[in-house]
Amino acid sequence: MTQKEKMISRGQLFCFIIQAQIGVGILSLPFKLNETAKGGGALSVLIAGAITQLIIILLWVLLKNFPGHNLFSICLQIGGPIIGRILIIAYIGYFVLLGSNVMFSAVEVLQRWMLQTTPRWAILALFSIMTLYLAREKLTVLARFFTLAAVLFVPLILFVSYGLTQAHLEFMLPLLENGYWNIIKGVQDSAISMYGFEMMLIVYPLSEGTNKQRLMTISLASWFVTLLYVFVVFTCLTVFNSEQIKLIPEPVIYLVKSLNFYIVDRADILFLPIWSITLVCSIVSYCYAASIGLSVLLSRKSHKNFTPFVKISTYMIALAPVTPAGIHLFDIAATYASYVFIAGLSMVLLMISLFMKRKAGGLA
């Protein structure tokens, strides 16, 4: 296989980032934003999208400073064989934790709306089998599947769009009802739902195009997700009033369930399986990243043999939380880990790389 055949196209990169970003958070985002920003929830999402774009540009600068290297090889370049491997282990742990959290949250939603009597271990096992089968493959195979699965966004958007027939714009007015500060607080909930763009640190070197073209592709993918979230939040906030949303943890599913399509009694039964495919893509991306990290850590050419260990780890972690306190702690750990590894450690690597580049330029 030639080097060009191993690369994914810009269109596939676009779909990969979208599938990695869209997860469970979109279902409950209107509920969370209603608690803080109320009618200004859509503004919170837009601000979170702008912050995400800024982080994407900073990560792009880091990748541009190390052409042809992904996150793990950059860690070795900057930290050397010892510190670099410690950083790789830390990032592997992060990807495993996030993959477990997405899978656990997906199972929680499915148990509430469809599979009430199915034990959690069984649903987790089904997700693990599906994601193991995909995560073992090469990036080109994943990119093709993610691109094919992107077609399913059409029915998802149509389902939500149908809710606009029952919209009342006055439900979300005034936009600044809760004040500027609460809109800013809503940015945190919105940003948490947009995690996944950090996959660019893994797939960027294996994508076609110039640096500017790849940045544009990733940025477009991120803004597509942002605008989709704005649309979903806007629809839910105009279909349900503030008091109603307080009683519905997943307004998006309830919205679809309440719609009358005449030939379909419960549209949510169609919506959830389609949405689950997107979740599978998100989980696969994290498991793939962790497997790649293990292959770099142990100096192996293929990540294929490490994927089962990653999947067993994600399964066991997702199976662990059983009490409400444990579930809350799990979510908090995933949230703070994202802050540390995306906004914290990655920025430290960027500053060190800029210092190294400047020092090398001075010596030259």
> Count of alpha carbons within 13 Å of 309, Cβ hemisphere only?
13
> From 1.10.3720.10, 3.40.1020.10, 1.20.1740.10, 1.10.10.10, which CATH number describes the 10-355 domain?
1.20.1740.10
Is residue 342's pLDDT more than 70? Answer: yes
Most confident segment among 77-86, 175-184, 259-268: 77-86
Instruction: Enter the tokens of residue 237.
Output: 């906030």
Q: Report phi then psi at 65, rounded to 5.
A: -75, -15
Residue with tokens 């929680």: 108
Residue with tokens 């799990």: 330
Section 210-224 average pLDDT: 93
pLDDT category at 100 given cuts 50, 70, 90 is very high
End-to-end CA distance of the chain: 38
- Residue 260 is classified by DSSP as -
Q: Where are the domains of the chain?
A: 10-355
Q: pLDDT (tens digit, 9 = 90+) per residue, 349-362?
A: 888 888 877 766 55
CA–CA gap between residue 38 and residue 241 (Å, rounded): 10
Q: Which pLDDT value is given to residue 4?
A: 44
- Give the Å distances, CA to CA, from 228 to 155, 233, 238, 282, 339: 13, 9, 15, 16, 23
Q: pLDDT (tens digit, 9 = 90+) per residue, 220-248?
A: 999 999 999 999 988 888 888 888 888 88
Q: Lowest-pLDDT range, 190-194, 209-213, 220-224?
A: 190-194
Q: Which pLDDT value is given to residue 2?
A: 35
| For the chain, percent of residues with pLDDT exceeding 90 | 39
Q: Considering the chain, what is the average pLDDT of its residues?
A: 86
Helices (H), the chain: 3-6, 10-21, 25-36, 41-64, 71-113, 120-135, 139-149, 153-161, 179-192, 200-203, 211-239, 242-245, 251-258, 268-297, 307-319, 324-338, 346-363
Residue with tokens 């962790």: 290
**Residue-level length of the chain:** 364
CA–CA gap between residue 204 and residue 214 (Å, rounded): 8
Q: Which pLDDT value is given to residue 362?
A: 53
pLDDT category at 308 given cuts 50, 70, 90 is very high
CA–CA gap between residue 302 and residue 19 (Å, rounded): 23
Is residue 3's pLDDT more than 50? Answer: no
Q: pLDDT (tens digit, 9 = 90+) per residue, 66-94?
A: 888 899 999 998 888 899 999 999 999 99
Is residue 364's pLDDT more than 60? Answer: no
Q: Which pLDDT value is given to residue 165?
A: 80
